[in-house]
Structure 1
Amino acid sequence: MKGLYCKPGGSEAEPKFVIQETTLPEDLGNHQVRVQVKACGLSPLDLKLLEDVGIQRDLIPVGREVAGVVLQVGSKVSFFQPEDEVVGILPLDSPSSGLCDTIDIDEHYLVQKPEKLSSVCVAGALRDGLCAYTALHTQAHMAAGHTLLVMDGASSFGLMCIQLACYHGVKVLTTSHSPQKHTFLEQLRPSVGVQDPLVARVIPVYNGSSDLLPVVLEETGSLGVDIVIDSGVCLQEEEGPDDVKLLPHKHDIISVLGVGGHWITSHQDLQLDPPDCRLLHLKSASVSFLNPEVWTASSAQQGRYLHILKDIVEKMSAGVLRPQPEEAIPLYEATVAMETVQRHQKKKAVIQL
């Protein structure tokens, strides 16, 4: 059987993605489950993170968000039986590529997949759902009555944050990166319950001048928001690519935070100047770094992690979380698709096996 693997390049060379033959051991571990993969989500590989946690290999498995059917279970497996439909994220040190026909995975990385939920849908959205839960529940301690600002709400991650926050009674503001995305966000409605807009205010940032601070202050009675979730940050006010120009400046984010607010950032190399830190101190606000890999890199909170995964798939099945549909790509296009994802020309891709 074949799987997709990454050959890391040098310090400046781009990584290469290759199809390799691989085999599974004959015997399953006591707590392992053998799964026939139906769909696999592709996300960019963070090679620096793998190096930081001591995972250095000639060939790194690619494709970790998987959905499939249980074929066989180990002697001590208690959660699953053969023919159960499951979904999960392979750990960072997994020897298997999610694009293999069949993989072995520890039962503690999997949850049951609801029958009405398609494998392609859940494999494409699971990572974004996990990021949204981590940001809002684990780091920001979201509660009903809070106000949330989501940067680029039309992205797959931003959409998950908006829907999850609205479900819990949070007032949501968001930014839009194009006229089409602006219209899409204004027309968002829940699939169940009262058909009020999900977003209280959509703030355009694509027309050159951003009214972010005055609009947020107007919507919050000059108090600022309780939570800000970014999708990247501009560290310096200078000219750059169009996608960088759309990112908020770090000082703007701190300015819109209310007293005791939480800023959840996905910017790994965030640098704050003393005036920024002073403003955070005056507001008694905090900055948290969003690293979704922390759940599979550490087993300290494995029970909470499984609870989150289970809640994500249940809310997706119930229509509370409605991810943007991803077009399934056939297996023979996996290498090209992964190269596109790795160069950030596309956010993610879903391979149907």
Structure 2
Amino acid sequence: MKGLFYRAGVSDAEPKFVIQETCLPEALGSHQVRVKVKACGLSPLDLKLLSDVGIQRDLIPVGRDVAGVVLQVGTDVSFFQPEDEVVGRKHRTERCLLTVTVVLMEYREIQKPEKLSSVCVAGALRDGLCAYTALHTHARMAAGHTLLVMDGASSFGLMCIQLACYHGAKVLTTSHSPQKRTFLEQLRPSVARVIPVENGSSDLLSVVLEETGGLGVDIIVDCGVRLQEEDESEETKFLPHKHNIISVLGVGGHWVTSHQELQLDPPDCRLLYLKSASVSFLNPEVWTASSAQQGRYLHILKDIVEKMSAGVLRPQPEEAVPRYEATVAMEAVQRHEKKKAVVQL
């Protein structure tokens, strides 16, 4: 059986993602489930995170989100039976999911609703988990809150918008291009205001204060920030500066950031202190990097797929690629040419 792996410690001239033979245990553990894979979601590997948690291997398995059909269950498995359709996320990097069959622990997967396709749920599970973690776990969102979502047309931003609207929050968002602005304008009245930032300079502060009566927003969810005002590189030119983020935050507000190396200067900290505001870091791998709070994690996954099945969360459709294109697709994802990819088996 073959799987997709990241080859560590090679030069740039050699391929970083390779197809290698892998094997699964013939005998299942008491709480393990053997699953026939129908679709597998690919997202960028955080190599620094893997190094920080002590995972250093020559070949690192690729593939996090999987949807498939149960083939066999362990002796003590009570949640699933053969022929059940399931969806789950891999814990750390024990096994490669981009294979014909995989073995998962029963408490790392949930039942897949019949209305959802395997490709849809495998492609949207990570974004849904990130949105749920940002808005509920970190920001404690409630009805009546005002939310600012940066780059609302992204797959993650769209999930945040839909989840916030469902819970009665007022949503403001930014657009990075005229096409994205048109797309977001079509979401009205779910989106109260679309703020264009494609020209490199925006009236973010004035627009937000106008929409909130000068009070600022209760919650901000970003997709990265600029640490230096003069940084105008292609990767960061559409990102808001950290001081602008803090300036539009209201008293008692909460900022959820995806920036791993955020540095706040003393004036920034002073402004946060004056507003009694707080900052949280959104790490999408935190649920699977630790075995703590597994019950809460499963509840989140179940709620996500139920909302997707009910039409509350409508992810952007993702075109699946065949298995033989998985290496090329993963290379594009790792280079950030694509946010994600889905492989259909």
Contact 2:149 2:221 in 1 (8 A): yes
Report the AA paired with residue 111 of structure 2: Q
Alignment of 1:15-94 (within 5 A): 16-94=16-94
Q: Alignment partner of 1:128: what SS?
A: helix
Report the AA paired with residue 246 of structure 1: F
Aligned match of 2:198 in 185, 191, 206? Answer: 206
Question: 1: CA distance between counterparts of 2:291 and 2:14?
Answer: 32
1:3-40 deviation line (CA, Å, top 9, x unaligned): 00011126988871000111111100110000000000
Q: 1:122 to 1:236 in 2, by over 3 A?
A: same
Report the AA paired with residue 270 of structure 1: L
Name 2:264's counterpart in structure 1.
272
Name 1:232's counterpart in structure 2.
224
Question: 1: CA distance between counterparts of 2:31 and 2:41?
Answer: 24
Name 2:298's counterpart in structure 1.
306
Q: Alignment partner of 1:244: what SS?
A: coil
Q: Which moved more, 1:256-265 or 1:17-26?
A: 17-26
Instruction: State the shift of 1:243 in Å.
Output: 3.5
Question: 2: CA distance between counterparts of 1:10 and 1:283?
Answer: 48
Question: 2: CA distance between counterparts of 1:216 and 1:12?
Answer: 44
Report the AA paired with residue 338 of structure 1: M
Question: 2: CA distance between counterparts of 1:69 and 1:146?
Answer: 40
1:35-85 deviation line (CA, Å, top 9, x unaligned): 000000000000110111111111110011000000000001111000000
Name 1:191's counterpart in structure 2.
none
Question: 1: CA distance between counterparts of 2:12 and 2:150?
Answer: 31
Contact 2:9 2:58 in 1 (8 A): no
1:89-143 deviation line (CA, Å, top 9, x unaligned): 101132x211100000000110000001000000000000000000000000000
Alignment of 1:89-128 (within 5 A): 89-94=89-94, 96-128=95-127
1:192-237 deviation line (CA, Å, top 9, x unaligned): xxxx521000000002321100000000000000000000000001
Alignment of 1:120-159 (within 5 A): 120-159=119-158
Question: 1: CA distance between counterparts of 2:2 and 2:57?
Answer: 18
Q: Which moved more, 1:277-286 or 1:85-94?
A: 85-94
Identity %: 82
In the superposition, the TM-score normalised over structure 1's length comes to 0.96
Question: 2: CA distance between counterparts of 1:240 and 1:9?
Answer: 31
Instruction: State the shift of 1:240 in Å.
Output: 2.8
Q: 1:142 to 1:15 in 2, by over 3 A?
A: farther
Question: 1: CA distance between counterparts of 2:315 and 2:13?
Answer: 34
Contact 1:147 1:225 in 2 (8 A): yes
Contact 2:10 2:16 in 1 (8 A): no
1:164-207 deviation line (CA, Å, top 9, x unaligned): 0000000000000000100100102xxxxxxx521000000002
Question: 2: CA distance between counterparts of 1:182 and 1:9?
Answer: 41
Contact 1:328 1:352 in 2 (8 A): yes
Runs of 4+ in 1 over 3 A off after TM superposition: 10-15
